C-alpha cells in the first residue's frame, strides 16, 4: 500500500533560479536488500549537509515513505523531504535545482528494480549501504549493476 504524505515545497534558501556553486549534486541510496540502512543514511547525510550550510533535500521514492514519516515526526523545515514516485524524480530534481537545493539524496525501496534504476540514472553518485554480515555481503553483489548504467 502506498502511504500518502504531504508534499512539502522546497524552501527557498537562495533566490529562485540562483544555482548553488557547482549546481545540484544528486546522490542515490540503493540496495536490493531491505534494512540495509538506506533511509537512515539518506536522512542523516541530508541533516549533516544542511547543518554545514548546504541546502539539502531528500527525495523519498520508497512507497513505504519512511523518510517522509521521519520528517513528519521530526517536524523541522529542513532538510526538506519530498515523497515522489520514481517517474517524477527528474522533474522534482529540476525543481530542487531551481529552488537552490545543493544536495539531493534519493532514498529508494529495496524491491523496486525499475524505480531504483531510475534513481541511479538520475544520480551523480550511487551509494549502496551494506551491513557487515555474511548474508548481506553475499547479497550486495547483486547490486553491482546499479553502478554501471551509462
Ligand X SMILES: Nc1ncnc2c1ncn2[C@@H]1O[C@H](COP(=O)(O)OP(=O)(O)O)[C@@H](O)[C@H]1O
Contacting residues toward Mg ion, per CB under 5 A: 38-39, 66
37 touches which of Mg ion, ligand X, none (CB within 5 to 8 A by kind)? ligand X
Residue 37 within binding range of ligand X, rule CB under 6 A: yes
Q: How far is CA 119 from CA 30, 31, 68, 89, 105, in A?
A: 8, 11, 17, 7, 10
Q: Hey, what's the cell of 130?
A: 551494506
Specify the residue, 65 or 97, whose C-beta has the smaller distance to ligand X. Answer: 65
Q: Is 19 left (phi over 0), alpha (psi -120 to 50) or beta?
A: beta
Binds ligand X (CB under 6 A): choice among 27, 28, 36, 86: 36
Task: Count Cβ atoms below 10 Å from residue 75 Cβ, excluding itself.
Answer: 6
> Smaller CB distance to ligand X: residue 100 or 129?
129
Name which of Mg ion, ligand X, none residue 35 binds, using a CB cut-off of 5 to 8 Å depending on partner kind. Answer: ligand X
CB of 129 to ligand X, least distance (A): 7
Torsion over CA: 91, 93, 94, 100 (sign): positive
d(CA 101, CA 28): 15
Query: Which residue lies nearer to ligand X by CB, 97 or 119?
Result: 119
63 binds, among Mg ion, ligand X, none (CB under 5 to 8 A by kind): none
**38 near ligand X, rule: CB under 6 A:** yes
Q: Which of residues 57-96 bind ligand X (CB under 6 A)?
A: 66
Q: Quick one: which segment of 27-35, 49-57, 78-86, 139-147 binds ligand X (CB under 6 A)?
A: 27-35
Closest approach of Cβ 67 to Mg ion, in Å?
A: 7
CB atoms within 10 A of CB 133: 9
Helix, strand, coil percent content, the chain, rounded in steps of 5: 40, 15, 45
Amino acid at each position: 500500500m502506498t502511504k500518502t504524505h504531504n508534499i512539502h515545497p522546497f524552501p527557498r534558501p537562495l533566490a529562485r533560479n540562483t544555482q548553488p556553486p557547482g549546481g545540484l549534486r544528486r546522490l542515490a541510496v540503493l540496495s536490493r536488500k531491505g534494512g540495509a540502512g538506506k533511509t537512515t543514511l539518506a536522512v542523516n547525510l541530508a541533516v549533516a549537509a544542511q547543518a554545514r550550510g548546504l541546502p539539502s533535500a531528500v527525495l523519498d521514492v520508497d512507497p513505504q515513505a519512511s523518510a517522509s514519516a521521519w520528517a513528519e515526526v521530526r517536524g523541522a523545515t529542513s532538510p526538506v523531504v519530498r515523497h515522489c514516485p520514481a517517474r517524477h524524480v527528474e522533474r522534482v530534481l529540476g525543481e530542487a535545482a531551481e529552488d537552490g537545493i545543493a544536495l539531493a539524496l534519493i532514498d529508494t525501496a529495496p524491491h523496486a528494480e525499475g524505480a531504483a534504476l531510475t534513481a541511479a540514472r538520475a544520480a551523480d553518485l550511487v551509494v549502496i549501504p551494506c551491513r557487515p554480515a555474511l548474508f548481506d555481503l553475499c547479497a550486495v553483489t547483486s547490486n553491482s549493476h546499479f553502478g554501471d548504467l551509462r
